[in-house]
Amino acid sequence: MNAILKALVTAGIVASLSLNAQAAGIAPTETTTPYMQEHLQRLERMKAMTPEQRAQERKAMREEVRKLTPEQRAERRKAMREYWDKMPPEERAKHRAERRKEWESMTPEQRTERRKEMHERFEKMPPEERREMREKMKKHWESMPPEEREARRKEMHERFEKMSPEEREQFKRDMGKRGDAPADQPGVKPDEAR
């Protein structure tokens, strides 16, 4: 009975995803790999979970990815990128808004833990990959229209203002660790950089 129920739920999710994809004008088989279909189903199930359950599920997903070989990870990233690129801009914006809402619903401890994991992952990256990532982020920032860049700056400033004093201090420490931060440049004292 349990297997039948699971099969029905899975079939319902797949059908809803297929209908959503068709409504968006994208055939699911041409754009989604089996991995992406499974990932999308998982995301749908996560919508009905509590924030704590979602956090646990995301942690489990990250653990699964860590166990993959670098080639498998690259393959999955490629599939995700292809899916993302074919997604309509409105759907992408909706997805980003959901991620932002989820981030803001986290407790400060959960955010701190997530940041710590991201920093650890970044630190473990080979130097050339890290350099590529920084370059990509810099190019993205420079390619933004001035109005969008200003809006982003304002949003980041507001987010900084909402942080607890401990989070702010941690943020400042983390920014000082970066190799391209003014505090790390020769001849510049840390007090002068801020």
What would the pLDDT profile of 73-123 be if each residue is shown by its tens digit? 888 888 888 888 888 889 888 888 888 888 888 888 888 888 888 888 888
* Total domains present in the chain: 1
Between 106 and 142, the more confident residue is 142
Using one digit for the tens of pLDDT, what is the confidence trace for 5-27? 454 445 455 455 454 544 444 44
Q: Is residue 70 part of a domain?
A: no
Q: Is residue 149 part of a domain?
A: no
Q: Is residue 63 part of a domain?
A: no
Q: Is residue 194 part of a domain?
A: no
User: For tokens 């993959």, what's the residue?
Assistant: 68
Q: Under a CB-based contact definition with an 8 Å cutoff, are residues 163 and 171 in contact?
A: yes
At 13 the pLDDT is: 54
Q: What residues have CB less than 8 Å from 22, skipping those under 6 apart?
A: 28
Q: Is residue 104 part of a domain?
A: no
- Give the Cα-Cα-Cα angle 174, 100, 45 (nearest 5 degrees): 120
Q: Is residue 41 part of a domain?
A: yes
Q: Is residue 36 part of a domain?
A: yes
The pTM for the full model equals 0.45
Q: Is residue 15 part of a domain?
A: yes
Whole-angstrom Cα distance, residue 15 to residue 20? 9
Domain range holding 3? 1-53
